[in-house]
Amino acid sequence: MLTTVSLTIKFNETVDEGRRMKSSTGRWVTGTNFFDRHTELKLLQQRIEEGNHVSLTGQRRMGKTSVARELGRRLEAKGWVFLFADIEGAAGPEDVIAELAKAVQRVQPLAMRFAAGLGRWLGDRIEELSALDFKVKVRAALDAATWRRHGEKLLADCAHYEKPVLLVVDELPIFLKRIQNGDDGPRRVDEFLSWFRQVLQDHANESLVVMVSGSIGLRPLVERLGIPDRINHLDPFRLGPWGKEDSEACLRLLAESYDIQMEDAVPGAVYEKLGIGIPHHVQSFFARLRDHSIKTDGTCLTVEDVDYVYRNELLGPSGQNDLVHYETRLKDGLDEANYPLAMEILAEAAVVGVFSVTAQHCLASDYAEIVDDVRARIVNTLDVLVHDGYLEESGGDYRFPSLLLRDWWSARFRGHHVPLGDRQRASR
């Protein structure tokens, strides 16, 4: 039985003197802009080099894509081939294979081998095609009857390549959720995952290693469908948040990189506001502090500035636009009937401060007449909310580990959310 590894690593390396780091709030980073994760990368690289297929998990905005790309960069320096395929927009297996082909196109020997099996569809001058054109032509050659065969050929070519290959398949859960919502969806999800697992097992101990990741949970999805064994070939590796020391070190390095003066207590005050060190939130807070510093003519940032920026920027309209990503991904990860339950749970946890056992009973009673099997759905919804990092459980109660998320949800719902216990008392 595979177990999930969750890591929170202390910052234990001295920052190189003179190193500069760019502020990044919406894109993946690598190289000199990649901060910390030394131990996680070491362990991940060890697993990959030992030939283990990996499922990289972790809550929203934890930097999974950046970790995957930085790992790929480091492996390329050791002679590996690194392929990255984002399948978030795929509508079916044919699109997935076309995205994999797009990733392969940059390695001409692999692209040529794969193209030989497509014949007339790609023409004679494969080397002149851009990655996008290659993807479009491959997609035109695929249909429901051929995607398996060509997908197997593509992965087999990678497995037999002269160099070891790491293939990262990003946003696999979003793709699976999309086809699940279509006609005959559960069967199609099962079919794709069974095919994918079988192909990788057929090429065990060869050159190809696969890592999948995503911004919604893969495990909760397959468990809801009753097919958890379809991903038992993937070794789960959970990416945890930065600790206080790491978060403060990142903020200091960013401030030094932009020649921003701040009181010694500012990094600690930022961390206390956030509650946990989600890398994107640390970066986002710094970006707004930097803007505030410019607006105030570069004066030294103070703890009072931290409080002002938190209240007026991170919790203001621009910050809420940034955090709406969480609601979008929540809708992506839940069934239609479970989504309103999740919104009720999060509103209760934000406004009241906790989603308690009593509140859980009240919610079940409140929705009993309009949602089938409501108690089981609440349990499933809580599992997703915990897995994806919205809430954490202690003694049957659920709370936000991220104070930023709690305060954002509270700002949105406190004016019209009636606590669940109050609803029960009012209906008597």
Cα(236)–Cα(1) distance, rounded to whole angstroms?
11
Q: How many CB atoms lie within 10 A of CB 419?
A: 14
The CATH number that domain 334-427 falls under is 1.10.10
CB contact set of 182 (below 8 Å; sequence gap of 6+): 188
Q: How many CB atoms lie within 10 A of CB 370?
A: 9
| Closest by CA position to 391, among listed 423, 348, 362, 422 | 348
User: Is 146:98 a contact under the CB 8 Å cutoff?
Assistant: no
Cα(89)–Cα(65) distance, rounded to whole angstroms?
16
Burial class (CB in 10 A: 0-12, 13-18, 19+), 394: exposed
pLDDT, tens digit (0-9, with 9 covering 90-100), for 206-258: 899 999 998 778 888 898 889 999 999 999 998 889 999 989 998 998 998 88
Domain 37-239, second-level architecture: 3-Layer(aba) Sandwich (3.40)
pLDDT band, residue 34 (cuts 50/70/90): low
Burial class (CB in 10 A: 0-12, 13-18, 19+), 100: buried
| Closest by CA position to 390, among listed 208, 216, 270, 255 | 216
Cα(304)–Cα(308) distance, rounded to whole angstroms?
6
- Residue 305 clears pLDDT 90, i.e. is over it: yes
- Give the mean pLDDT of 354-380: 93
pLDDT, tens digit (0-9, with 9 covering 90-100), for 86-104: 999 999 999 999 999 999 9
Cα(140)–Cα(95) distance, rounded to whole angstroms?
10
Burial class (CB in 10 A: 0-12, 13-18, 19+), 90: buried
Helix (H) or strand (E) holding 326: helix 317-333
Vertex 276 angle, CA 273 and 279, to 5°: 105
Cα(83)–Cα(401) distance, rounded to whole angstroms?
34
Domain ranges of the chain: 37-239, 244-320, 334-427
CB contact set of 47 (below 8 Å; sequence gap of 6+): 54, 235, 237
Written as one letter, the residue type at 155 is L
What is the model's pTM? 0.81
pLDDT band, residue 313 (cuts 50/70/90): very high
b/e 257-291 (16+ beta carbons within 10 angstroms → b):
bbebebeeebbbbbbebbbbbbbbbbbbbbbbbbe
Cα(279)–Cα(288) distance, rounded to whole angstroms?
15
- Give the mean pLDDT of 180-203: 94
- β strands within 32-98, DSSP E: 54-57, 81-86
Q: Is the domain 244-320 a CATH 1.10.3720.10 member? A: no
CB contact set of 407 (below 8 Å; sequence gap of 6+): 315, 350
